[in-house]
Amino acid sequence: MLKLSRRIETEIRQAGADAYPNECCGIMFGSEDGDDHAVKSLRPIVNARESGEQYHRFLITAEDMMRAELEARRLGLEIVGFYHSHPDHPAKPSDYDRDHALPFYSYIILRVAEGRPELMTSWRLRISREAFDPEPFEIEP
């Protein structure tokens, strides 16, 4: 299960709206308790994908990941997952998402339709990497 606050949900939704018609992306910091991830803060990332592809792809560079790892350590948190938007497409993982994901992380996907944030879902990649499974999540006050 993924747990996040209403504030974190709002930040993800706003990032999706602000990036439209391109994909937004970012890293979720938090804590793990067994299979549960609790998101405590976000690190928005500038989509490093070439500008002509940002509407349907995102890229988090190795340098961004390194900075995020250092920030997580400084905060006493872990990287528990990633979020990104799907402009004018369903809030479910694509084959591209699967090919670039790693098991054990939570992956939030936000559908943004005509600039308006809509459905937000969370997913976990199977260890076999053959598919994602829906991950239940709850939004705490």
pTM for this predicted structure: 0.95
Residue 132 β-bridge partners = 125
Q: Architecture of domain 2-140 in CATH?
A: 3-Layer(aba) Sandwich (3.40)
Q: Provide the 10 A C-beta neighbour count for residue 39.
A: 25
pLDDT band at 53 (very low <50, low <70, confident <90, very high): confident
pLDDT for 51 beyond 80 = no
